[in-house]
Structure 1
Amino acid sequence: MRALLKSRTKSAAAAVFGALLGFLAFGEARAANPLELNFWLSGPRYDGKVAPCEYALRTITYQFRDKESTFWNSSLEITGYGNVRETAFRPWQSDNIPRRFCSGEAMLSDGKVRAVHFSIVEDGGFAGFGQGVEWCVVGLDRNWAFNPACKAAKP
């Protein structure tokens, strides 16, 4: 009987302590003070230096071959590019992440020419280091990531 009484007392004390801790942690939400705003919440600073369209072609070729062989069991590869051009640079507000949007034509190993739309993103590489590339080959967006017809890959 004594052990039961002690365990109930301990569990009641633990519940009160947990409730007190929860109240203190989530009790009141306050805005950042001026010191925090000036030093700790400054946010990223972008230079707007984004590589030209030709920079991404090698990456697209490699990633396309990897995606097709790994996920779709296909031997398709991009063998060449043509008519590569910039379609937009920072098309939205200036405080957004800088992007260069490009389009072109990709010759595939099956002999077909398909449109390719891509963007080069400042600090868009792995874990935010380097420039990242997002791309879509029209007609081969098998997982519909940029559907319909790669429209979401354009500005």
Structure 2
Amino acid sequence: MRDLLSSLKMPALGAAAGVLLGLLAPPPMAQAANPLEMNFWLSGPRYDGDLPACEAGLSSISSQFAEKERSFWNSGLVITGFYGVHEVAFRPWQSDNIPRRHCAADAMLNDGKARPVYFSIIEDGGLASFGTGVEFCVVGLDRNWAYNPACKAAKP
């Protein structure tokens, strides 16, 4: 029995000594990136800030809204028309951010109600960053609360 206890103490002492040496050892020195690790060919994004007018995003909003309502919420709501389309802000943040044109409109739905819509047209915001993309929120129909409260997060 005594041999068994002494054989168990030796690995435990070795493990404790290893942990102690690991804690007291100096950290490895930082090294500069080698030429293969440097991103000298990547110059960063080059945004033109050439975005279409607010009216250019309306067809995309109509189709995306109908698809979302049909697929996710099992609803027959569709946007039948827009009125009062106007720009709210253009590039409201720092100039080196992705250019966005923020717009607002009122949408008429097939349930007979007019609802405010806030949307932004984003440069390089399309599928796989090709073309312009559109993000939108219809007040009162943000069922997954992505832009809550009352589509505040969709505004600049």
Are 2:72 and 1:71 equivalent residues in the alignment?
yes
Deviations 1:85-141 (A, max 9, x none): 000000011000000000010000000000000000000000100000000000000
Counting aligned pairs with the same residue, the percent is 65
The separation in 1 between residues aligned to 2:33 and 2:91, in whole angstroms, is 31
Q: Which runs of 5+ in 1 are unaligned?
A: 1-25
Q: How does 1:4-43 map to 2 (within 5 A)?
A: 28=30, 30=32, 36=38, 39-43=40-44
Q: Give the structure-1-normalised TM-score.
A: 0.77
Instruction: State the superposition RMSD in angstroms.
Output: 2.0
Paired residues in the alignment total 128
The separation in 1 between residues aligned to 2:32 and 2:137, in whole angstroms, is 43
2:56 aligned partner: 55
The separation in 2 between residues aligned to 1:108 and 1:86, in whole angstroms, is 21
The separation in 2 between residues aligned to 1:94 and 1:46, in whole angstroms, is 10
1:86 aligned partner: 87
1:131–1:27 CA distance, 2 compared to 1 (3 A): farther
The separation in 1 between residues aligned to 2:83 and 2:110, in whole angstroms, is 15
What is the CA distance between 1:29 and its match in structure 2?
Answer: 5.3
What is the CA distance between 1:42 and its match in structure 2?
Answer: 1.4
The separation in 1 between residues aligned to 2:43 and 2:60, in whole angstroms, is 32
1:21 aligned partner: none
Q: Which runs of 5+ in 2 are unaligned?
A: 1-27
1:111–1:27 CA distance, 2 compared to 1 (3 A): farther
1:123–1:29 CA distance, 2 compared to 1 (3 A): farther
What is the CA distance between 1:41 and its match in structure 2?
Answer: 3.4
| Higher Cα Rg, which structure | 2
Structure 1 residue ranges (4+ consecutive) displaced by more than 2 angstroms after TM superposition? 26-33
